[in-house]
Homo-oligomer: A and B are copies of this chain.
């Protein structure tokens, strides 16, 4: 079955959430948003390209930081309203320079920081 980004379900802003998972160790690194064109660009180039809601512009991950995400495989969920991206991450996925954006655990009602920013 040929894949067409237009067949995905987007929210009222025309966006779909995309979860980036490290293809090597399975760590979930971040979640961001794509519009149909960002989905198409990501599949065409294998460079993960989100839609920045704050800047209202394409966000080629790592374009300024060098922390690029190379797509290994994209998957779509049963409702076609969420994407899972298996990627190879160069450097930190998080803008805080941590490997993953999910660096804060909730344990016994408190927030616990799991990892420090990486050295440059």
Contacts of A3 in B (CB 8 A): 106, 109-111
Interface size on A, residues (CB 8 A): 37
CA distance A43 to B82 in the complex (A): 24
A27 within 8 A of B: yes
| Contact assessment for A76 and B2 in the assembled complex, using a CB-CB cutoff below 8 Å | no
| Contact assessment for A110 and B1 in the assembled complex, using a CB-CB cutoff below 8 Å | yes
Closest to A32 in B: B82
| Contact assessment for B26 and A84 in the assembled complex, using a CB-CB cutoff below 8 Å | no
CA distance A108 to B95 in the complex (A): 31
Q: Mark A30-63, 1 if CB is under 8 A from B, else 0.
A: 1100000000000100000000000000000000
A residues engaging B (CB < 8 A)? 1-3, 17, 19, 21, 25-28, 30-31, 43, 73-79, 82, 84, 94-96, 98, 101-107, 109-111, 114
